[in-house]
Amino acid sequence: MLLKIKEGLLGIALGDALGVPVENQTREQLKENPVKNMMSLEKHNNKPGIWSDDTSMTLCLAESLCYGFDTENMGKLFLKWLREAYWTPYGKSFDIGDITLKSLERIEKGVKAEEAGGKSQRDNGNGALMRILPISFYIKGNNIKHPSRFEIIHKVSSITHAHPISLISCSIYIEIALNILEGFDLEISIKNTEKSIFNYYKNKIGFKGELYKFKRIFSDDFKYLKEEEIKSNSYVINTLEASIWCILNTNSFKESLLKGVNLGGDTDTTAAVIGGIAGIYYGMDSMPYEWVNKIVRLNDIEKLAEKLNKALCN
């Protein structure tokens, strides 16, 4: 599974780095001047290949899983990133979302990690979705079946985002990833995910009332929606929809990331979420060498992938 772990982690870093320089630009602005390649980030060392909180928190989660499943340790590493710039590209934490910040501050004050995440409707940003992918490797490596794997996903999301909408969103993303890791193509992976998601949540108190909000993702015509029907802001369902829609409407790793970035808005997170799935779907050979070669701390990311793989194989 080493190769898949590398592909997933690098896919996230590549999407993140591609989107950071144009974060919060509008779709109209990017139509006039679209992103075509990796660009420098002027406000942070003026170098291409710099990634943000999306990748940093993903790498913290991946490192924590090297020592087993421990949400308290995950919370400590997230705090270490926030306060000590741990797992940052060049020694500075930046681009943290308000919901994530407030949750980590609660942990800092002694709240248990699994109880720290925001639980209101307003707490459904994409800050858990952007970092959740390593859980798919942990679940597959330990051959964890339903319903236990949903409970695991919930615990990890709840460190920062604990509302049912965020928990379902993360579960959908991980289920798609797990299906791809099993060798299914993208459309079959989505269909399989629909079945497992609705079977699990349809009678679950607190969740079944939110399920209808995800029906569009699983509809037969979702792929054929027009671009103007896809939103690319930081609301978790919009990020999930934009990511799946971009992968469904492209035929390569590079094309899917560029499509996501050029939607505008929360460009780094949309592309990072795309990158995680597209990375394990299209594979390492599909990643532009000139992009990979620019990723800051590339060797460290690859070593972490090796460490996680070794831990999961033991």
Check residue 160 and report its DSSP letter.
T
Q: Is 269 annotated as a binding residue?
A: yes
Distance, in Å, from the CA atom of 262 to the CA atom of 265, rounded to the nearest integer, reads 9
Question: Phi, psi at residue 237, to the nearest 5°?
Answer: -65, -40
Q: Is 52 annotated as a binding residue?
A: yes
CB 181 within 8 Å of CB 141: no
In sequence order, what are the beta bridge partners of 125?
A: 235
CA dihedral 242, 248, 249, 250 (to 10 degrees): 110
Distance, in Å, from the CA atom of 292 to the CA atom of 308, rounded to the nearest integer, reads 20
Q: Is 267 annotated as a binding residue?
A: no
Q: Is 221 annotated as a binding residue?
A: no
CB 114 within 8 Å of CB 158: yes
Q: Is 185 annotated as a binding residue?
A: no
Q: Tokens 């029906």 correspond to what residue? A: 215
Concatenated DSSP letters for 54-85?
A: HHHHHHHHHHHHTT---HHHHHHHHHHHHHH-
The 10 Å Cβ neighbour count of residue 202 is 10
Q: Is 53 annotated as a binding residue?
A: yes
Q: Which residues are annotated as a binding site for Mg(2+)?
A: 52-54, 266, 268-269
Q: Which residues are annotated as a binding site?
A: 52-54, 266, 268-269
